[in-house]
Amino acid sequence: MAGRSWLSDQRGELAAEKILDAAEALFTERDPAAVGMNEIAAAAGCSRATLYRYFESRDALYAAYVHRWANTLYRQLTERLSGIADPARRLVVGITESLALVRENPALASWFAETGPPIGSAMAAQSEVITVLVASFLSTLDADETDQTDQTDTVQQRARWVVRVVTSMLSFPGRDADDELAMLTRFVVPVVISPDRIRSAPE
């Protein structure tokens, strides 16, 4: 059987990764919402039954795909932001770099196409993994806050809001890079960063 021969070459996480790689190739070609599980199974070289063994539904596959890329982007951003200490600049660069990384990837960008269903925004808003990663990033910006409980609650709220800002800009971009930078500096930095932590306007 196709599933059995396929499983003989790939096990566990490697099998799931192979399926996600196949899905990504299809997402690059067209609207992710139009890609069916049968197509993904065929592209991965496995049976439909095998596919459902690893991902019980298309939503589960979507979530796994989003989380894989969220972790990849987080690692890339951590490296790119390592030399930036100023909280305001770190925030703005973090968001603009996130936007660039998604837009440069055809498979990811397709999730936020203006003409398609808003599955990218919906998945990001529902993802606890993305919220945790964003909250982890934001917690480094206001590290001097004294009340740890309040800090945690505030960071979680800000994280959910930042996720919405980013997905909104992916779905409905600004006029150009300067326009987006101006919006982030004027409307996002003052909300996310405590006033006493804003040393200067990001460049």
Among residues 56, 81, 101, the one where a domain terminates is 56
- pTM to 2 decimal places: 0.82
Q: What is the mean pLDDT for each group of 10 consecutive residues in the chain (203 residues)?
A: 46 86 94 93 94 94 93 93 93 96 92 78 89 92 55 84 94 95 95 72 48
Report DSSP letters for 137-192, one per residue. Answer: HHHTTSTT-S-HHHHHHHHHHHHHHHHHHHHHHHHS--SSHHHHHHHIIIIIHHHH
Q: Is there a domain that residue 83 lies in?
A: yes
- Looking at the structure of the chain, the number of domains it has is 2
Give the domain extent around 25.
Answer: 2-56
Residue 45: CATH number of its domain: 1.10.10.60
Is residue 34 located within the same domain as residue 119? no
Same domain, 46 and 72: no
Q: Do 48 and 91 share a domain, yes or no?
A: no
